[in-house]
Chains A and B, each alone.
Chain A
Amino acid sequence: MSTPPTPPSGSPDPSGPLGEFNPLEPPPGIDPTPGAAVAPPVDPRLLVRQEGLRGYLDEFKRKVRGGELGSLPVVIGLIVIWLIFSLKNSQYFTAANAEFIAYYMVGLGMLATGLVFVLLLGEIDLSVGSVSGLAAAIYAVLSVTHHWNAWLAVVITLLSGMVIGGLQGWIFAKIGVPAFVVTLAGFLAWQGVMLWLLGSTGTINLEPKALNALFSGNSFFLGGQIFGAYLLAIIATVGFGASLFLQQRRRKAAGVPSRPTGELIARTVLLAIPVFLVAWILNKATGVPNNLVIFLALLVICDFVLRRTTYGRKVFSVGGNIEASRRAGISVPMVRISVYAISGTFAALGGLAIAATTNAAGQAGADPNNLMMAIAAAVIGGTSLFGGRGRVWSALLGIMVIESINAGLFMLGLTLDIQYMITGGVLLAAVIVDSLSRRTQKSSGRA
């Protein structure tokens, strides 16, 4: 036992670079497997990307065929939408309209962000629209009717959203009522609470204070200076590039496969082009709205939480296989409750953002159309309804699609009936794409 294990002689050491860190080195007296003694031939089916552009093209084709469409359909969809509306109305493709879309998409985008967490679990939260309306009412009653400190009212409002979401999550996770039913009940009940809070007047006008001031339509990053937008673009590009290169360095140092430098540069440039384009366009109008800045910052944080922390890993694993997660020691109820709490918090924040666009908390705050559009945004952006697949950025991409359509329809002077039909159609299309891509993923073994 005390003799150190020796590699089988006369054959290349199968353990290679492992050195002494080989846990499974056969101890003396045990025959090494014949298979292990021969250097394993390279399996021709291994996913090795060819060098150069050709390799990327092949990989891209393979992914599309495997149903890993990612954000491709959205980007194509966005371009098509912009083209159609630009042809219909010359005012559509203007900086002013871009500014309009950038500002009005934030509230719903926040609802969609919370929904992405829920969708990753493979569940749904139908209450986000009502919770957002209720949150605006709570804030209005506290800050306007009762003259509380505005920031304190904001904190209480967000906490209410968290508690409401957590409560729904608890009923779902601990009692076992299907999430669909719990949140459908919430959809009605929270709207009722909102109406009760708003009372007979029905509408409470807000004061431009605290978060409400930041969310209002005339609040721009660094006062709307040209420099402000470019500063944000620079931060985004440099941050993204730096994280890519840092990662590459760490991977190289550890000796695990890393992306070639050319690819990193290409990716950074690919991000920089739209980012600087948007900054330039918004600068031609009035600058970057502050609510958009807050929204983007939250997206960065959420993306980090989902992809780089154990918590995010738990969310994905529960969405992928509940039993596997349970056996791996993950507390499935805790993950579920916390995800619904996150969804509730984002709903409350989104509610504040929506209320700030009209400077009032009113009965329209819980418009059921908001719920539909938020769900549509998350799904259109590429987060699967079936759980386990998606990114928070889909909330941004999806809401851009939705808001681009809304702005176009608004310009064409189309009435609510047509708007509803089109939004419904877009949601259906997104769900169909999601289901189809899941089917191809299944048949190519990637579901």
Chain B
Amino acid sequence: MTNPLAGSYAPASADGEPVLALRGVSKRFGAVQALSDVELEVHPGEVVALVGDNGAGKSTVVKAIAGVHPIDDGQMEWEGRAVTVHRPQDSQHLGIATVYQDLALADNLDVVANLFLGREITTYGTLDEVAMEKRAQELLDTLSIRIPSVRIPVASLSGGQRQVVAIARSLIGDPKVVILDEPTAALGVEQTAQVLDLVERLRERGLGVILISHNMADVSAVADTVAVLRLGRNNGTFPMRGTTQETIIAAITGATDNAVTRRAARTPRSEGEV
């Protein structure tokens, strides 16, 4: 199995072609218009922080990209090509690794089984537990993750330990883009620092990273670009360098609307209230 972090790409500048882009993406859940006309670009070697208040639609963006909730409208582009993602497998095959906010680990399986779920190492059609355990141990060691044993069920891990297992799981494949939905929310000080370090290493290796976080300190520590979502719409994209935290917080809370939101606010609503 190839290692996502081996090999050294040149950290690409954000000017090149985006590896992943959303163009005018909309998503509806029954009566809830969770996303409308959302635009997002991620370049190789770029960390994009996706921020917004609770319910802004960040996790929905993640699930749309990952193929958990296919989009209703709009376009997803991968390395310049338009692609359709209907199922989680589709996005995995493209090279997108996702760590969900609701971690999605199988509690009854042990750490090794969870890390390799869906892409087990096999020899002659049978599971190669030894190879998987060895790789799992190595990966966890390098992430400085301390868990009682790689052979205990995930159910008996703490929230933070489960989080790192979920992150490690995303790195087992060969991703080009890694999406982390609030990866540090449940973590202690040291583990948070390690996850942020990890994000930087991913960037150094030329991967695109989408990082969702409510913690502005985390965001300003690692992000290159900040994309703000508000009520399911874009509310500005800012380069981290040269933008104050106040500007971003104002965009999150809606104190400053950008042109798009203002225009949108003027036009549609009336249609609904016939």
CB distance from A330 to the nearest CB of B (A): 6
CB distance from A304 to the nearest CB of B (A): 8
Q: Closest chain A residue to B142 by CB distance?
A: A24
CB distance from B249 to the nearest CB of A (A): 28
Stretch at the interface among B23-31, B77-85, B112-120: B112-120
Report the separation of the CA atoms of residues A329 and B120 in the bound assembly, to the nearest whole angstrom.
Answer: 12
A45 within 8 A of B: yes
A1-51 with Cβ < 8 A to chain B: 1-2, 14-16, 18, 21-27, 30, 32-36, 40, 43, 45-47
Residues in A with CB closer than 8 Å to B6 are: 23
Docked-complex contact A323 and B104, CB < 8 angstroms: yes
Docked-complex contact A30 and B201, CB < 8 angstroms: yes
Docked-complex contact B134 and A324, CB < 8 angstroms: no
B225 within 8 A of A: no
Docked-complex contact A26 and B134, CB < 8 angstroms: no
Docked-complex contact A330 and B201, CB < 8 angstroms: no
Docked-complex contact B142 and A22, CB < 8 angstroms: yes
Docked-complex contact B149 and A26, CB < 8 angstroms: no
Known A23-B142, A47-B152, A317-B117; judge A325-B125 contact (CB<8 A).
Answer: no
Docked-complex contact A388 and B88, CB < 8 angstroms: no
A86 within 8 A of B: no
Docked-complex contact A327 and B142, CB < 8 angstroms: no
Report the separation of the CA atoms of residues A304 and B105 in the bound assembly, to the nearest whole angstrom.
Answer: 24
CB distance from A55 to the nearest CB of B (A): 14
CB distance from A147 to the nearest CB of B (A): 40
A61 within 8 A of B: no
Report the separation of the CA atoms of residues A299 and B10 in the bound assembly, to the nearest whole angstrom.
Answer: 54
- Secondary structure of the A side of the interface? loop
Docked-complex contact A30 and B204, CB < 8 angstroms: yes
Docked-complex contact A15 and B141, CB < 8 angstroms: yes
Docked-complex contact B89 and A316, CB < 8 angstroms: no
Report the separation of the CA atoms of residues A251 and B133 in the bound assembly, to the nearest whole angstrom.
Answer: 9
Report the separation of the CA atoms of residues A70 and B118 in the bound assembly, to the nearest whole angstrom.
Answer: 27
Residues in B with CB closer than 8 Å to A284 are: none
A52 within 8 A of B: no
Docked-complex contact A320 and B142, CB < 8 angstroms: no
Docked-complex contact B197 and A329, CB < 8 angstroms: no
B155 within 8 A of A: yes
Q: Among the listed B104, B118, B126, B198, which residue makes an inter-chain contact with A24, where contact means beta carbons less than 8 Å apart? A: B198
Q: Closest chain A residue to B152 by CB distance?
A: A47
Residues in B with CB closer than 8 Å to A251 are: 130, 133
Known A45-B148, A309-B126, A328-B117; judge A321-B105 contact (CB<8 A).
Answer: yes
Residues in A with CB closer than 8 Å to B139 are: 23
Known A24-B5, A47-B148; judge A250-B130 contact (CB<8 A).
Answer: yes
Known A321-B105, A325-B117, A329-B88; judge A46-B148 contact (CB<8 A).
Answer: yes
Q: Among the listed A47, A304, A326, which residue makes an inter-chain contact with B88, where contact means beta carbons less than 8 Å apart? A: A326
Residues in B with CB closer than 8 Å to A308 are: 126-127
Report the separation of the CA atoms of residues A328 and B157 in the bound assembly, to the nearest whole angstrom.
Answer: 20
Residues in A with CB closer than 8 Å to B148 are: 43, 45-47
Q: Among the listed A16, A30, A247, A329, which residue makes an inter-chain contact with B141, where contact means beta carbons less than 8 Å apart? A: A16
Report the separation of the CA atoms of residues A26 and B203 in the bound assembly, to the nearest whole angstrom.
Answer: 12
B267 within 8 A of A: no
Known A256-B137, A321-B106, A328-B118; judge A1-B8 contact (CB<8 A).
Answer: yes
Report the separation of the CA atoms of residues A375 and B194 in the bound assembly, to the nearest whole angstrom.
Answer: 48
CB distance from B147 to the nearest CB of A (A): 9
Docked-complex contact B201 and A320, CB < 8 angstroms: no
Residues in B with CB closer than 8 Å to A447 are: 107-108, 155
Docked-complex contact B104 and A313, CB < 8 angstroms: no
CB distance from A43 to the nearest CB of B (A): 5
CB distance from A311 to the nearest CB of B (A): 10
Residues in A with CB closer than 8 Å to B89 are: 329
B117-153 with Cβ < 8 A to chain A: 117-120, 122, 125-127, 130-131, 133-134, 137-139, 141-144, 146, 148-149, 152-153
Q: Among the listed B98, B122, B133, B205, which residue makes an inter-chain contact with A327, where contact means beta carbons less than 8 Å apart? A: B98
Residues in A with CB closer than 8 Å to B125 are: 309
B54 within 8 A of A: no
Residues in A with CB closer than 8 Å to B120 are: 310, 313
A-B contact pairs, 14 of them (CB 8 A): A23-B142, A24-B201, A27-B205, A33-B144, A33-B190, A34-B193, A43-B148, A309-B127, A310-B127, A313-B109, A321-B105, A323-B104, A388-B106, A389-B108
Interface residues of A (CB under 8 A from B): 1-2, 14-16, 18, 21-27, 30, 32-36, 40, 43, 45-47, 247, 250-251, 254-256, 304, 308-310, 313, 316-317, 319-321, 323-330, 387-389, 441, 444-447
Interface residues of B (CB under 8 A from A): 3-6, 8-10, 66, 68, 87-89, 92, 98, 100, 102, 104-109, 113-114, 117-120, 122, 125-127, 130-131, 133-134, 137-139, 141-144, 146, 148-149, 152-153, 155-157, 171, 190, 193-194, 197-198, 200-201, 204-205
Known: A328-B117, A329-B89. 10 other contacts (CB 8 A): A2-B8, A15-B141, A22-B138, A24-B142, A30-B197, A30-B200, A36-B144, A254-B134, A309-B126, A329-B92
